[in-house]
Amino acid sequence: MTDKLIIFDTTLRDGEQSPGASMTKEEKVRIAKALEKLRVDVIEAGFPVASPGDFAAVQAVANTIKDSTVCGLARALDKDIDCAAEALKGAVSARIHTFIATSPVHMEMKLHMSPQQVLEQAVQAVKRARQYTDNVEFSPEDAGRSETDFLCRIIEAVINAGATTINIPDTVGYTLPDRFGKLMAELRERIPNSDRAIFSVHCHNDLGLAVANSLAAVMNGARQVECTINGLGERAGNAALEEVVMAVRTRQDVFTCHTDLDTTQILTCSRLVSNITGFPVQPNKAIVGANAFAHESGIHQDGVIKHRQTYEIMRAEEVGWHANRMVLGKHSGRNAFRERLKQINIEFESEEALNAAFARFKALADKKHEIYDDDLQALVTDTLTSEHERIKLVALKVCSEMGETPCANLTLNMDSVENSVAAQGSGPVDATFKAIEALVNSESRLLVYSVNSVTGGTDAQGEVSVRLEKEGQIVNGQGADTDIVIASAKAYLNALNKMLTPVDRKHPQKVAAPV
Ligand SMILES: CC(=O)SCCNC(=O)CCNC(=O)[C@H](O)C(C)(C)COP(=O)(O)OP(=O)(O)OC[C@H]1O[C@@H](n2cnc3c(N)ncnc32)[C@H](O)[C@@H]1OP(=O)(O)O
Ligand SMILES: CC(C)C(=O)C(=O)O
């Protein structure tokens, strides 16, 4: 039996630091539940001292999750640590993660502290955290640019103070795999009490090396990897969980460790995170991109038909894809629909939820020849997110003709009252958004608008993402339909519904209520 590699997911903390990826408490809990089902070992749920909203989110995750350890981040300050401990009180298994920067540039220019002061503050922080839990992680921030001698001194001291996990972050994505691997080996070898802690790694992707650096560290003894779903994270992101996990699983000839993850849940997690944050997954993204297991050219197809391993190093099913083409169409019934969704790891909590998704499926099958797994994922996500919306799209008709100003005739149901309006715009989507605003009057600003084709062909579903801003509050919305104008209207309304639902947002005072 090989060693266990601990998977520490930080989608809800470092992932959320990605500009525009801010999540509500409810969204964090939904993602945490999916991560628990994926069987990640540790979920870093947030930075409790950052805001009352993040405190509440970490608390909600801690109170919900039973099978994964829930972790909260804290600077090396008493108030941060006390706050994290308070937020984590309800957790079955809790970890406090405290950090302080150790690179010369951070210590001198940011913290204005000497190395000795940093060392003493780190020790004090770990001791404080140990008063609350015996599961304490310490990170020397910017370790990738820190002096190795100082790293050895501070790590030895924090282990003596009670740190049980030592995380080595490449905070700015500066290191190279070979050197980073050697750093991990050297630290483990030189620090006399290194065997009393688990060594971990946390890499950023500024040079596109986050996964490579993480794997180099694992090859040199790291037994925890910090990563995020879809590689979400500050700036260029963190190491992608799906890539790290599948590399270790696929190359068991090289790695002397394994993870306990249920990898078949990877795709579901990826879709959920993409849907909630509004960050689409690029088609050629490893493991979870739409093309990751698609074969397009004749020679490849010929090889795969003769022997799958000619061009496949993993099976699509291992990460939640269904390798075979969908055979669902407009003549399929509810049971086939339910069965197919079960196979791609989607289950419904109620018969009503299934019926709503089935009705959409039938409407889509009338418009589209083939329904792929991607279409089903988009359709179901759309169903799940639209269940509790205050504003619903009832009807939309757009006129777009060369030489004429495009116009949109729109009917919305707002809090059970139907209203209609006509509006003009510079294009059909613009006219639609103007019509929505004429009825809702949210006074929000459109920051981002993007369209993604879910599958190939002119009858593919368009997946639209929008980002709206109002008085500092930013929300993302998604919508999918074979008609991209309707998908756009759905996405805009999805964002407005989030904005207009005044439930426990990070800045509740800024939520616009009037409809
Ligand atoms: C590498 C990483 O990803 S670390 C995590 C980064 N994530 C975040 O910063 C998101 C959450 N952050 C926040 O909400 C805010 O920055 C807060 C609540 C933590 C602090 O807010 P403020 O008190 O207004 O401070 P501000 O953010 O302006 O500056 C950070 C302060 O913390 C200090 N600091 C930074 N890191 C640490 C640390 N690990 N331990 C102790 N102090 C630290 C800085 O030196 C600075 O102190 P100063 O005000 O005396 O100059
Ligand atoms: C808090 C630490 C681990 C971090 O996020 C980083 O250094 O990137």
Q: Does 262 map to a domain?
A: yes
Judge contact between 186 and 147, C-beta under 8 A: no
The number of domains in the chain is: 3
Judge contact between 21 and 235, C-beta under 8 A: no
Domain that holds residue 467: 389-510
Known binding residue 204? Answer is: yes
Known binding residue 275? Answer is: no
Query: Which atom of ligand 1 has the smallest separation from the CA of 51?
Result: 14
Q: Does 288 map to a domain?
A: no
Chosen domain end from 277, 307, 341 = 277
Q: Both 191 and 265 in a single domain?
A: yes
Q: Does 48 map to a domain?
A: yes
Q: Both 73 and 183 in a single domain?
A: yes
Is the alpha carbon torsion for 461, 462, 468, 474 positive or negative? Answer: positive
Known binding residue 82? Answer is: no
pLDDT at residue number 302:
60
Position 308: which residue type?
A: R
Q: Both 118 and 181 in a single domain?
A: yes
Q: Both 270 and 312 in a single domain?
A: no
Q: Both 378 and 400 in a single domain?
A: no
Judge contact between 7 and 42, C-beta under 8 A: yes
Q: Does 255 map to a domain?
A: yes
The reply to whether ligand 2 has any atom less than 6 angstroms from the CB of 139 is yes
Q: Both 270 and 351 in a single domain?
A: no
Chosen domain end from 385, 405, 433 = 385
Q: Both 82 and 174 in a single domain?
A: yes
- Give the H/E segment covering residue 478: strand 473-481
Q: Both 47 and 191 in a single domain?
A: yes
Q: Where are the alpha helices (DSSP H) in 220-323?
A: 241-250, 266-277, 298-306
Q: Does 57 map to a domain?
A: yes
List the CATH number of the domain containing 112: 3.20.20.70
Q: Does 317 map to a domain?
A: yes
Tens place of pLDDT for every residue, the chain, 515 residues? Answer: 899 999 999 999 999 999 889 899 999 999 999 999 999 999 999 999 999 999 999 999 999 999 999 999 999 999 999 999 999 999 999 999 999 999 999 999 999 999 999 999 999 999 999 999 999 999 999 999 999 999 999 999 999 999 999 999 999 999 999 999 999 999 999 999 999 999 999 999 999 999 999 999 999 999 999 999 999 999 999 999 999 999 999 999 999 999 999 999 999 999 999 999 989 999 889 999 988 887 544 455 566 666 778 878 999 999 998 753 444 666 767 776 777 787 777 777 788 888 888 888 888 777 665 566 667 777 776 655 555 678 999 999 999 999 899 999 999 999 889 999 999 999 999 999 999 999 999 999 998 898 987 666 776 778 898 888 887 777 778 888 889 999 999 999 988 988 876 433 333 222 222 22
Q: How far away, in angstroms, is 82 Cα from ligand 2 center?
A: 19
Q: How far away, in angstroms, is 80 Cα from ligand 1 center?
A: 10
Q: How far apart are CA 252 and CA 232, in angstroms?
A: 26
Q: Both 177 and 47 in a single domain?
A: yes
Q: How far away, in angstroms, is 152 Cα from ligand 1 center?
A: 24
Query: Which atom of ligand 2 has the smallest separation from the CA of 202?
Result: 3
Q: Both 77 and 185 in a single domain?
A: yes
Q: Does 130 map to a domain?
A: yes
The reply to whether ligand 1 has any atom less than 6 angstroms from the CB of 50 is yes
Q: Both 185 and 234 in a single domain?
A: yes
pLDDT at residue number 341:
80
The reply to whether ligand 2 has any atom less than 6 angstroms from the CB of 171 is yes
pLDDT at residue number 505:
31
Residue from 42, 99, 106 whose mutation best tests the ligand 2 pocket (most atoms within 8 A of CB): 99
Q: Both 116 and 247 in a single domain?
A: yes
List the CATH number of the domain containing 474: 3.30.160.270
Q: ipTM greater than 0.95, yes or no?
A: yes
Known binding residue 507? Answer is: no
Q: Does 292 map to a domain?
A: no
Chosen domain end from 216, 243, 277 = 277
- HSE (side-chain half, CA atoms, 13 Å) at 21: 29
The reply to whether ligand 1 has any atom less than 6 angstroms from the CB of 75 is yes
CA 148 to chain centre: 33
In the DSSP assignment, the letter for residue 166 is E
pLDDT at residue number 219:
98
